[in-house]
Amino acid sequence: MSIPETDAALGHRTDAADAGHARHGLFGLTLGSVGVVYGDIGTSPLYAMKESILHVGENPTPAEIIGIVSLLVWSLIVVVTLKYVFLVLRADNQGEGGALSLMALTQKALSKPSRTVLFLGMIAAALFYGDAILTPAVSVLSAVEGLKVAAPGLDQFIVPIAIVIIVGLYAVQSFGTASVARFFGPIMVIWFLVLGIIGLYHIGDAPQIAEALNPLNALTFMFGEGIVGFTVLGSVFLAVTGVEALYADMGHFGKKPIRMAWLAFVGPCLLLNYLGQGAFALSDPAVVKDLFFLSVPEWARLPLVLLATVATIIAGQAVITGAYSLTQQAIQMRLLPRLQIEHTSAKERGQIYLPTVNWLMMIGVVLLILFFQSSSALASAYGIAVTGTMIVTSILAIVVFAYGWRWGLGLSLAVFLPFLAIDSAFLAANILKIADGGYLPLVVGAVIVLLMWVWMRGVDVLARRSAEQYMPLDVFIRSMQSSSVTRVSGTAMFLTSTPDQVPSALLHNLKHNRVLHEKNVVVTIRTADTPYVDEETRIVYEPLGPGFSRIELNYGFMEEPNLIHALIRLREKGVKFDVMSTTFFVGRRSIKSAERGPMPRWQSKLFIRMARRSYDAIEYFRIPANRVVELGTYVTL
């Protein structure tokens, strides 16, 4: 197989968050955040209350219902409002958030790179993929299951209908979400208004539900019900799944719109709905099995099913888009091989589509639906991935706040340890679900971490092999000054990840063609630990000697490389390159697994398989295909 030599030169997209925030008003950004950021957490009322109450049995006592509602309410207040809205959103990396962005921010806060921080970031990213296939499955199934109440005759078609919706959702991804996204906000506004109205309507059924606002009822239930109180936490946690989206999507909307949307609209609507569902259950415990859809009159049930289905599709769209963005960040940070990335909008770089990720996710979601058959069964698998990510966020945030924001370790621990304790309690409760399906996101996460680790190790081994085989660039340049090698007109650009060494493509061109171009440029593309890089520091040009120079292109992990665009910018600075007289040389390694190499044989074989699926460097770096010459080398791994 073969792999491009420029493994270190990996790119990501530019969302131009600041420019986008300037173009759109606060109201528009707030509306957009309602549709994208809160899609997942906004569909939790479909199943969170029902699953929590069913944990204590089909005939819960009033005290048990009030205690469960209190746990739900205070989970939203403490975890979502206090931890994420007020604290975690402060940990922004040039306006960007998310697991990998926080990992980069943590590395920057420390005096030197930490393997532990890198591993924690990998775990958080890997667990997100497990959550990303569970969210569409459990959300869509829970919505379609409303047909049991609205149209009982269609009960047997629930699973096929859910699969058709899922396949359709993933099939349209290649067309882009730009036009659809404009409708997400208004639809989710309607959804949250309906949730709030339903809750407000039923609170009068049992006014004593107001007791749930007293946190003592939550603590009394959790510690007074024995093992039942503890296991219920695993289902209560379903109410806050999707909370990581607040942080991950910060770059798209900004902190202020996300906070305003939650505090002024989304949060109150969810609180009202959970209180209303609790009051409805108090007035008639028999409705618990189909609590959400029975909470509306019979004439409104089918429209509610349709609205809920649309809301769950939007929630699914949010995690799909998040998976695309996370994968691009992982590629840029050299955690994964290059994958094909298609841009679905000529105006917005953020509108991207990754075919490999898309279809793998779709297969995973369909298999989950076929295997579990119901949202209740899927709920057992839901939660572990999210709690794991939340714990990692808390740990990394302690480091960032202590050393990056200069809070000091003592104050950071005092602030975040209570949240870490809550996260750990949720994780412990969700661990009890492992035998019932909770192992699935852990297996998915473990596989992703393994792939990342093997890829990183393979790339490092190749880099060391390159350092052993090639000579220093400055030595080569001095030797060429007295060489009688034939010079040909034009410019040759050599892409390499090791700018201090002679690119293998240059050596092979000299060896086989016995010529050297008049101008030879060594090009290296680097990734910063920040989302964006200023245009002033993007390009570094350095003359090295007669006929030789070096270009270093710096990109943030939220940006994508474009070599031709960079050359145009360089020409504006007075350094001229004629693309039509420039030949781009790309080195390509052919790798074979050795019987006894620096990596175990199973790792080298896995690395080779991943490398074979690495997207072509020529297209990835936007190099004109008709100006490229590829020269290969052979490496045993």
pLDDT digit string (tens) for 267-319?
999 999 999 999 999 999 888 888 899 999 988 988 999 999 888 888 887 78
Name the stretches of the chain with pLDDT < 70.
Answer: 1-24, 176-183, 343-351, 469, 634
Residue 178: per-residue pLDDT = 52
Query: Which residues neighbour 160 within 8 Å (Cβ) at sequence distance 6 or greater?
Result: none
Q: 3-class SS at 584?
A: strand
Residue 22: per-residue pLDDT = 44
Lookup: tokens for 333: 């940070």
Lookup: tokens for 310: 């649309």
Cβ contact 495:550 at 8 Å: no
> Between 1.20.1560, 3.30.1490, 1.20.1740, 1.10.10, what CATH number should domain 2-432 receive?
1.20.1740
Residue 527: per-residue pLDDT = 81
Residue 15: per-residue pLDDT = 38
Residue 214: per-residue pLDDT = 95
Residue of 33, 71, 37 lying closest to 52 (CA atoms): 71
Residue 220: per-residue pLDDT = 92
How many whole angstroms separate alpha carbon 400 and alpha carbon 103?
A: 9
Write down the pTM of the prediction.
Answer: 0.79
**Cβ of 578: how many Cβ atoms within 10 Å?**
11
On the CB side of 580, how many CA atoms lie within 13 Å of its CA?
A: 0
In the chain, which segments carry CATH 1.20.1740?
2-432
Task: Based on DSSP, count helices (H) and strands (E) in the chain, helices before strands.
Answer: 29, 9
How many whole angstroms separate alpha carbon 433 and alpha carbon 456?
A: 32
Pairing of strands 515-527, 582-592: unpaired
Residue of 76, 72, 78, 77 lying closest to 55 (CA atoms): 72
How many whole angstroms separate alpha carbon 72 and alpha carbon 458?
A: 46
Residue 335: per-residue pLDDT = 87
What spatial distance separates the first Cα and last Cα of the chain, rounded to whole Å?
A: 12
Residue 20: per-residue pLDDT = 46
Residue 149: per-residue pLDDT = 82
Lookup: tokens for 62: 């009033």
Residue 179: per-residue pLDDT = 52
Kind plus residue range of the DSSP H or E element containing 489: strand 486-495
